[in-house]
Amino acid sequence: MRVEHQIRAFEQIYQSYDGVLPLHRFLFAYFKQNKQMGSSDRRWAARYIYSFFRLGKALSELTPLQRLAIGDFLCQQSTSLVVETYLNNLSPSIELPLDDKIKLVEREYPTFKLAEVFILHTHLSPAIDQAQFFRSFFIQPNLFIRVKGTHIQAVINQLLAKDVPATEVIANALALPNGTKLEDVITDSRLYQVQDLSSQKTGAYFKPEKYDYWWDCCAASGGKSLLLHDIEPNIELLVSDVRENSLNNLDERFQSAGIKKYHKKVIDLLQNNDQTLHHYEFDGILLDAPCSGSGTWGRTPEMLWFFEKYKIESYVKLQKAFAGNVIKYLKPGKPLIYMTCSVFKAENEDVVSYIEENFPVKLEQMELIKGYHDKADSMFVARFIKQ
């Protein structure tokens, strides 16, 4: 395949993509519309556009094709026509370890600054190791599943039988290569949930007790509730979200997980919900708040390019308001679990300070769960106790 052909396909996608849809959904629709592209064309086009965005805002002064070549060189272990054409002298080094390749790029392009991959780096939580975090954008994250303890060996066996390398990273959490077609490999979809490793690790902060009544107030399709239920099956749950259609997915997932004891409501946490909730008192609340998602941009690197700083503040407003609107329904002595998949201080430590200063709760513990050592997302979790 000629390089001009690949470049034309890349440029067409680059020019027509505006960041509104997630890139993987845009590509799905784009390939459907452009049926003339064969499977090899599609594979190269997807590889290139992801490599391009993984470079974030570094070397913005170069042309898109030069940047594509540098991004592809850093992200991939096998060379491409674009790297051979635009980065010919570095192309033979593409199989080197990532840190060596970064040094080569720094030498060749003295204006290259690793921090500019993540242009909002001054907003990061202090717990983040910045150099490790920036370089993680050149590595595709793993796919993680959570498997019920009793089935873990059976699932590992099924994966290995199909030559899918599976590593148990923490108890019940398997890391798999990205793109693994789980439905083709694991016969029974009830044996596992797809859930990022750091998301699974938040469960250590829940600490539910038998017969508790918990509220998952930003439930979406129920990822955190399912985790909570796995930790303590003898609990009752109220799940709510402002989006009714996401709660419909939840029903399906709960059904296959065998969860029966739950109530479901559409609740907008920006409103006064006393009419609906005045008689409720919970033993625990999960507040998995809407956020920038910056801890997950290793999976959606287009955000490194398109995300605008002003949006952080609008998420912070929601996070603070939601906390104020849910804490009143918590019993004294019981936990509020505040979570984001953000790495920004404003959405994490600063919201924690605000919550402590303004509401009758005491911070017990907080952690920025770093995913960059495990090819996973990063998440923030804080556990407060109602006074």
Ligand X SMILES: C[S@@+](CC[C@H](N)C(=O)[O-])C[C@H]1O[C@@H](n2cnc3c(N)ncnc32)[C@H](O)[C@@H]1O
Smallest distance from the beta carbon of 226 to ligand X, in angstroms? 8
Integer Cα distance of 51 and 54 in angstroms: 5
**Cα 2 from chain centroid?**
36
Specify the residue, 75 or 269, whose C-beta has the smaller distance to ligand X.
Answer: 269
Which tokens sit at 91?
A: 């192309």
- Tell me which residue has its CB nearest to ligand X: 223
Check if 341 is active-site. Answer: yes
Contacts with ligand X, residue ranges (CB under 6 A): 218-221, 223-224, 241-243, 246, 268-270, 288, 290
The type of residue at 377 is D
Which tokens sit at 233?
A: 């099956």
The type of residue at 127 is A
Distant-in-sequence, close-in-space partners of 45: CB < 8 Å, separation ≥ 6: 6, 9, 10, 13, 27, 37
DSSP secondary structure letter of residue 334: -
Give buried/exposed letters for 308-336 (b at 16+ CB in 10 A, else e): eeeebeebbebbbebbebbbebbeeebbb
Q: Say if residues 249 and 193 touch (Cβ distance below 8 Å).
A: no
Please tell me which residue in 217, 218, 291, 341 is annotated as part of the active site: 341
Smallest distance from the beta carbon of 279 to ligand X, in angstroms? 20
Specify the residue, 24 or 243, whose C-beta has the smaller distance to ligand X.
Answer: 243
Integer Cα distance of 206 and 385 in angstroms: 12
**241 marked among binding-site residues:** yes
**288 marked among binding-site residues:** yes
Which tokens sit at 158?
A: 């099924």
Smallest distance from the beta carbon of 347 to ligand X, in angstroms? 11
**100 marked among binding-site residues:** no
Specify the residue, 71 or 222, whose C-beta has the smaller distance to ligand X.
Answer: 222
Q: Say if residues 362 and 332 touch (Cβ distance below 8 Å).
A: no
Specify the residue, 152 or 247, whose C-beta has the smaller distance to ligand X.
Answer: 247
Smallest distance from the beta carbon of 219 to ligand X, in angstroms? 5
Specify the residue, 81 or 286, whose C-beta has the smaller distance to ligand X.
Answer: 286
Smallest distance from the beta carbon of 273 to ligand X, in angstroms? 9
Integer Cα distance of 296 and 109 in angstroms: 28
In this structure, the dihedral spanned by the alpha carbons of residues 324, 328, 331 and 333, taken in order and rounded to 10 degrees, is: 40
Question: Residues with catalytic annotation?
Answer: 341
Detail the residues annotated as belonging to a binding site for S-adenosyl-L-methionine. 241, 268, 288
